[in-house]
Amino acid sequence: MKQSLRQMITCHWTAKRIQRYLDADPSAPLTAEEVARLEAHLAECERCTRVTEEHRVLHRALSLWPGAAVPDQRSVERVRSFLDELTDGSRS
């Protein structure tokens, strides 16, 4: 079945916030409402769950080996191209 427009928009919205969600960046925190909405979407969207997991793995790897080269460049590229696809290459 074709993905609904509503879900596509929510995927787009989620993709732009996954990084901030995982980083918990104190300079640009998500609101409690945004976190709730993001988590609700992850619960029903396999694709966004997958990209979130990839981000989480990368984030953990990078924090375990500070200053080291990115452990798996292909994973980074995959996540990046996925996000670019969802956001049309635009930056938030």
**Stretch binding Zn ion (CB under 5 A), from 8-16, 20-28, 54-62, 83-91:** 8-16
Rounded Cα–Cα distance for residues 87 and 11 (Å): 9
Candidates 19, 7, 25; CA nearest to 83 is: 19
Could you tell me the smallest distance in angstroms from the CB atom of residue 70 to Zn ion?
Answer: 25
Considering the complex, state which of residue 16 and residue 75 has its C-beta at the smaller distance from Zn ion: 16
Binders of Zn ion among residues 56 to 85 (CB under 5 A) are none
Does position 11 interact with Zn ion (CB under 5 A)? The reply is: yes
**Stretch binding Zn ion (CB under 5 A), from 26-34, 43-51, 62-70, 79-87:** 43-51
Rounded Cα–Cα distance for residues 92 and 47 (Å): 20
> For helices 73-87 and 5-15, what crossing angle results, to 10°?
130
Does position 86 interact with Zn ion (CB under 5 A)? The reply is: no
Could you tell me the smallest distance in angstroms from the CB atom of residue 21 to Zn ion?
Answer: 13
Q: Answer for the pair 48, 11: CB distance below 8 angstroms, yes or no.
A: yes
